[in-house]
Amino acid sequence: MTPSAAARARSPVITATVFLVALSLRPALTAVGPVLPRIGVDEQLGEGVLGLLGTLPLLAFAAASPIVHRVSRRHGMERAIFISLLILAVSSVVRSYTGPAGLWIGTVLIGASIAVGNVLVPVVLKRDYAGHVSRATGVYTAFITGGAALASITAVPIADAVDWQLALAVWGGLAVLSALAWLPRTLSPEPLPPPVADDDAPLVSVWRQPMAWLVTGFMGLQSTSFYLLVTWLPSIEISTGVSERATGVHLFLFQGFGLIGGLSIPRLMRQPDNQRAGTITASLPILIALLGLLLAPGLSVVWAIVAGLGQGAALVAALTLISIRGRSHHETTQLSGMAQAVGYLLAATGPVLAGYLAEQTGGWDTTLIVFAGLSVVQLVIGVAAGRDTRAARVPRP
């Protein structure tokens, strides 16, 4: 039975468990930002070191992503995702409750386990929803954003009621539930089809394809601005007089409006001649929001909403480009691994650079100027990556 036939043979409920996995891929990361000042106080860490803590999952993404396709080909995508969810659950507890060393080790393991889902879920979507890739990607991103938003808004209340350790560890329970829902898929895992490109085109390593580098650049830059804001938006706002609890609400709005942005952009991305318009539409709000935080910080809640709309749309645009630029399941897996390895390595510099600049300058203005410049670069790369180079291969929505 081919993978597509296997997907049709599954019940819609089993097929849709991919979206529950998506729900588990961000809470362990986005719960950190609102309680980062408390972690710094308890562990006696400065802003630069806290920036490194926020960056470690991204470095783990970059290190793990290139080898995920090998693990997948050997054990199957379903089993790889199942094991990664279990590791994510255990790592969430390790990070919170095993002391200073566990804080760092658990953070690395969390990043490595999430990397598996980051790489493989877009391939699962392309396989199981072959006729609706952009729409399925939008729903997938909505679940990612929803989980991230929930973790952001509940982190401070849980930390107030108990401590920051529980505010982070509680999301391991969601990973366990996702693993249990995913378990039926592991009973009859389907291997990826042979690595033969569509239309009998000769295989060329994605590392040698200019379009693959453009997609990777777009993925990396949108991730850079996302993790800058997830990690430091509360601190940026606190420096302008916003309360800690309000920053948690603003981070929730950032994530929540990302859901709206993610669900809106597929209409542009699914049409080959509109993909440039999609990448531009996704990138502009990020630039506007960063400039707004710099020039009109009193409207930070507005800029959080605008940034959220852009980030949600940009993530869907990046993942859709990964899915439609790959000419086969095998190439899509390789492209996903490349885009997320190099892209997240680029993104990993974001929180550290932001924290360093804040320490050196005594404020956040320089950071916002630098990252606004990077958002301009994202816009330019998005225009190039949105070129319709394989229109004949774009799945119909």
pLDDT in tens, 129-158: 877 777 788 888 888 888 888 888 899 899
3-state helix, strand, coil in the chain (%, to 5): 85, 0, 15
Which residue has 């480009």 as its token pair?
A: 321
pLDDT at position 329, please? Answer: 67
Task: Look at 330 and 189; give whichever has higher pLDDT.
Answer: 330
349 vs 329: CA distance, rounded Å = 30
pLDDT at position 11, please? Answer: 66
**Domain range summary for the chain, segments of one domain joined by +:** 3-393
The pTM is what? 0.75
Q: Which of 123-132, 157-166, 250-259, 299-308 bottoms out in mean pLDDT, i.e. has the lowest?
A: 123-132
pLDDT digits (tens, 9 = 90+) for 7-28: 444 567 777 888 999 999 989 9
pLDDT digits (tens, 9 = 90+) for 178-204: 999 999 888 865 544 444 444 444 467
Q: Which two tokens stand for residue 162?
A: 């108990």
The packing angle between helices 32-43 and 99-128, to 10°, is 160
Q: Which two tokens stand for residue 218?
A: 């777009």
* CATH-assigned architecture of domain 3-393: Up-down Bundle (1.20)
The packing angle between helices 300-325 and 365-385, to 10°, is 30
Average pLDDT over residues 304-316: 92
Which residue has 């199981």 as its token pair?
A: 128
pLDDT at position 66, please? Answer: 80
Mean pLDDT rounded to a whole number for the chain: 83
Is residue 88's pLDDT more than 50?
Answer: yes
DSSP summary character for residue 191: P
Query: Is residue 10 classed exposed, middle or buried when 0-12, 13-18 and 19+ CB atoms within 10 A define those classes?
Result: middle
Average pLDDT over residues 32-61: 83
Is residue 174's pLDDT more than 60?
Answer: yes
Q: 240-261: b or e for each residue (b if 16 or more CB lie within 10 Å)?
A: eebebebbbbbbbbbbbbbbbb
pLDDT band of 327, cuts 50, 70, 90: low
